[in-house]
Structure 1
């Protein structure tokens, strides 16, 4: 359609074929792909099935089919964020953690009518949890998390595959513990040593971890690498006396070779790029052995690059992937390579890579159907100069082939603040962005200070500065857009979830840049938060603001709940079963809004946890958000129900 045929209408009021239901009904995030014989299996979140995580494969007709039938849900709660919730034993036997009770189950889809438990029933519901599953002979070796006393206990344990431990807890064998957290259990080729990553409170795994090795015959544990200021990730055995491992000792997560004999640590390919990322979920991998002495790697400086690394020479050979900006290695089997990848105009999903030609073949995308490309925004990577430092962001301008705005009108923009706060965003096809941009609302995704993917110094910018640097950087990004004549400075909104919700509420209470904001399960205050949140993040605030009781005054001054005077009206969206940011956080903030007589809306969703998974919740939340923006920023939203704001 030519420009002359377009309808002239204000930004925000454009009609779009992308409905809120499309964000969930055709969306089903895929992850955890692996080769099982000649097949590819993967995990897939199913919003239309109550948000369960299914294990699936391609059927004989080439269409996705369940390996794990409804209602089984392969999801572990270790660290609450999970990871490594399933693996495959011999003869295509699935082993997985069931979300409802957190027991491990064995399931042979060719024989079993239903999965069979292989771990005992927990004394209290879901108190025993298992993740980072690996098959070792006739056992499952994994990270175990046991909730009994005031603090969880974690170790690496071995569980018989034959199911004998289902009725006999003593049959579960503890191999090693000795730290608050563990990850990556890796048995040496000769089965005499176990390597893993360990860390303790108050460190997070991107702050400092240790590479430890246990000699199984003697029980001796050696710490080979790492400390409170060095983050070590993904150990993999090269031979019985040598390991590859990722370390950020140079300021970037780079690959190193570690010799057990003399403890020598040798960088393989020193590069100003991250060959790793924050370990939010167990089992993440950033390199894999190709079987010929070389390694398949991913590295990040803003966006991801896939490459083959020769550890003998340090030579790095990039594999160009047209249109791909985000890459995760799912599995490697000889010349077969399975990736989870996507880009600004390429939907994320599982794809097979031909390493010789670089050709990608779709296996399973995270969405069934994409809208016409004309309704998808174009991503523009930008760097803004704030008062103190540069800020990286990705802008998505309004785009709809049927509409144009009146002459001289600038579009409203929503600044998206990712969670973590130690996380990272890259250019991506994201239907939520298109939901807004196709209606004439711009989106800017901000990698504020503290984000990963730009080296350790960039991550460390947030140390002691949470609620300051993240706010300043997000403000710098939207002001940069406005100063460039790309956004209406009077119609700027901000939206974020979890830690991003904290930044939303902090920005609304400490700056006058944003007209309004939306907090998805956001942190609103800190003293009670650190008491109520889960163990994995219970000391995270030590690094982001300071330890208690020394930083108690800072906790009070930074908390948005204590700074609501003059606040622009927000919307609070919260799952009522959230163990990470409990509903009490949103409720305390809402109480402060009520006391101050500030217009707002609070929507609470029964049965939802940290990150909405049900179709009906996703639809409700996005339609409410759009209606809210329309009311505050001054445009009509006729195709969604009107959100009722509480007003004094």
Structure 2
């Protein structure tokens, strides 16, 4: 599992330096074996992936804490952000001659305060400058952050361009160089609630003139902007309740929220903008667009109004697609394949892998997801993916039903996909089934489904997961006495809340969680700026609904805890800091409730190091063995405290 966790991300097409060199596919790549370092990689002329930057360069940033696009090519220069100091660095592009590229040099100054300036969502600007979003730390609180749009030239001169909203995406330059367009939003909205499309003229000196809001806002979310083949501004926006393709008149126009729909479809062609720089749309020509429809590659033809699936065996694409010589390149996975960089010919769906698959166990050890829909007591449909236990040589005792794990995804504005998941297969190959639930609030099913969770976090998500668990038990798939729930981040909250408010589970694994809702606000002080008012929409406005925050917080409901819990936490986590997990564990001491807490030094939000991934999985398996009464001789013993 840990060895296969080399995860591609942030893919794009870069035009390399040197004569007669065409577009090259570049991407970033997370490497657990290198302590989670993110490398920058290109598809070389020999068909093999080649590192662009050697260790210790770590191509990541902290923009909005989740990170934004960390690299770009401006003229003949690579610009990238380095995790250790959050600065922008530059290096001349390799020219294909075999000569060693020039040295890496910093473009932005070292701040007086560690990570006091953070740059992200890098884009090429006019004249070879780099455009980016800059975060400036203005005080001691996690929410003391200011943002502006900046340009950085080759000599490292930084120029502030605009600061139209509290949250911003980097400007995108029009093909004729006359306009720049970007997205902005303010609290309490999250970007999937509403975003404004800003346009400004680019001056002769490279600066931006006064901006105009030409689309979006007022309950309309735009998740991606793209300049089209004819120089028109395109947007993926959801005035209909679905993220669809629209044209944005630069004068604002007379359409719906300043948007003119192109080939509307009842399908989600965009997604939640957790990381700035995501791309769900890439133009193929004037009428055809590669799009990700609920995460699957399709071609949208605006002339015929058709949406045609392409390469349907790849069931989940990262929002990082691009076009190279008429082919779609991106990062995709399927029920039988881990995420890989692929190239797809739209005409016939031919798939070429640009990265090799990691060495996997034989297929008969790997559970293939079954797409299911369950119903809640009040009739709501809940999509889920069931991963049955599978092993070529072993089966459970005759007549016995297997244990099951209900997996609650993070976000909670997130989703699952029907793909090979080695994390799940670690358990299914040992006789434990997994079901991944897209509870109300998940993306991919339209705004109405997403907003089922508005002011209902800790209610709808908990009820939907419990309905799936009970349905699996009722149909004879799962042993009702051996069902656990697991999740990380927001999924950790759902797991913990489920253990204190339903009788559906016998145990829970809670990873880097939110456990005290009132503290996970801007006033509580234990949340970063991007999400500091997220819970206002998920739970309710403050102070009017303060009691609701207390009632739904697992920390305040320990008397109702239904069984043992395992907590896993990174100690350097800035999104869900360890404070809450540590208070929760402290409160459990002497309660008589079996529990274990494993903190991991050097880990942030989600685990990146191979050693941590291994330790966390082994501890989780040992935990279920202790709770459900089976031996786990191949993993270290886990002691449960009371």
Choose the corresponding residue for 1:299, options 282, 293, 297.
293
Aligned residues: 612
Q: 2:46 matched to 1:68?
A: no
Partner of 1:289: 283
Counterparts of residues 43-62 of structure 1 (less than 5 Å): 43-58=28-43, 62=47
Q: 2:89 matched to 1:105?
A: yes
Q: Secondary structure at the match of 2:453?
A: coil
CA shift for structure 1 position 595: 4.8
Q: Distance in 2 between matches of 1:326 and 1:80?
A: 24
Q: 2:7 matched to 1:29?
A: yes
Which segment is superposed worse, 238-247 or 583-592? 238-247
Q: 2:553 matched to 1:559?
A: yes
Q: Distance in 2 between matches of 1:580 and 1:393?
A: 27
Choose the corresponding residue for 2:453, options 462, 473, 493.
462
Unaligned runs of 5+ in 1: 1-22, 166-170
CA contact under 8 A between 1:305 and 1:318: conserved in structure 2? no
Instruction: Tell me the TM-score normalised to structure 1 length.
Output: 0.91
Partner of 1:87: 72
CA shift for structure 1 position 447: 0.2
CA contact under 8 A between 1:241 and 1:261: conserved in structure 2? no
How well do the aligned residues superpose, as a CA RMSD in angstroms? 1.8
Choose the corresponding residue for 2:605, options 601, 610, 624.
610
Q: Distance in 2 between matches of 1:393 and 1:319?
A: 21
Q: Secondary structure at the match of 1:142?
A: strand
Partner of 1:15: none
Change (3 A) 1:352 1:239: closer
Q: 2:584 matched to 1:589?
A: yes
Partner of 1:623: 618
Choose the corresponding residue for 1:198, options 180, 184, 188.
184
Partner of 1:420: 411
Partner of 2:19: none
Q: Distance in 2 between matches of 1:309 and 1:322?
A: 15
Q: Secondary structure at the match of 2:355?
A: strand
Change (3 A) 1:244 1:27: same
Choose the corresponding residue for 1:259, options 249, 255, 261.
249
Change (3 A) 1:179 1:60: closer
Give a deviation string over 1:236-278, Cα, whole Å, max 9, x none.
2237874211111101111111222461332112111111000
Choose the corresponding residue for 2:107, options 118, 121, 138.
118
Q: 2:184 matched to 1:187?
A: no
Q: Distance in 2 between matches of 1:77 and 1:305?
A: 28
Q: Distance in 2 between matches of 1:123 and 1:177?
A: 22
CA contact under 8 A between 1:241 and 1:259: conserved in structure 2? no
Counterparts of residues 119-518 of structure 1 (less than 5 Å): 119-136=108-125, 137-149=127-139, 151-160=144-153, 162=154, 164-165=155-156, 171-217=157-203, 219-238=209-228, 242-261=232-251, 263-264=253-254, 265-300=259-294, 304-311=295-302, 313-328=303-318, 329-365=320-356, 368-388=358-378, 389-518=380-509
CA shift for structure 1 position 594: 1.2
CA shift for structure 1 position 33: 2.3
CA shift for structure 1 position 192: 2.4
Change (3 A) 1:59 1:626: same
Larger RCO: 1 or 2 (CA < 8 Å, sep 6+):
1
CA shift for structure 1 position 41: 2.1
CA contact under 8 A between 1:623 and 1:641: conserved in structure 2? yes
Give a deviation string over 1:264-307, Cα, whole Å, max 9, x none.
3321121111110000011101111124442111111xxx3322
Change (3 A) 1:272 1:608: same
Which segment is superposed worse, 371-380 or 498-507? 371-380
Which segment is superposed worse, 249-258 or 523-532? 523-532
CA shift for structure 1 position 569: 1.1
Which segment is superposed worse, 29-38 or 567-576? 29-38
Q: Distance in 1 between matches of 2:138 and 2:84?
A: 18
CA contact under 8 A between 1:327 and 1:341: conserved in structure 2? yes
CA contact under 8 A between 1:155 and 1:177: conserved in structure 2? yes
Unaligned runs of 5+ in 2: 17-21
CA contact under 8 A between 1:157 and 1:172: conserved in structure 2? yes
Q: Distance in 1 between matches of 2:488 and 2:497?
A: 13
CA shift for structure 1 position 60: 6.2
Q: Distance in 2 between matches of 1:477 and 1:386?
A: 8
Q: Distance in 2 between matches of 1:494 and 1:535?
A: 29
CA shift for structure 1 position 336: 3.1
Q: Distance in 2 between matches of 1:604 and 1:469?
A: 30
Change (3 A) 1:239 1:322: closer
Q: Distance in 2 between matches of 1:40 and 1:190?
A: 24
CA shift for structure 1 position 436: 0.6
Change (3 A) 1:114 1:626: farther
CA shift for structure 1 position 495: 0.5
Instruction: Tell me the TM-score normalised to structure 2 length.
Output: 0.92
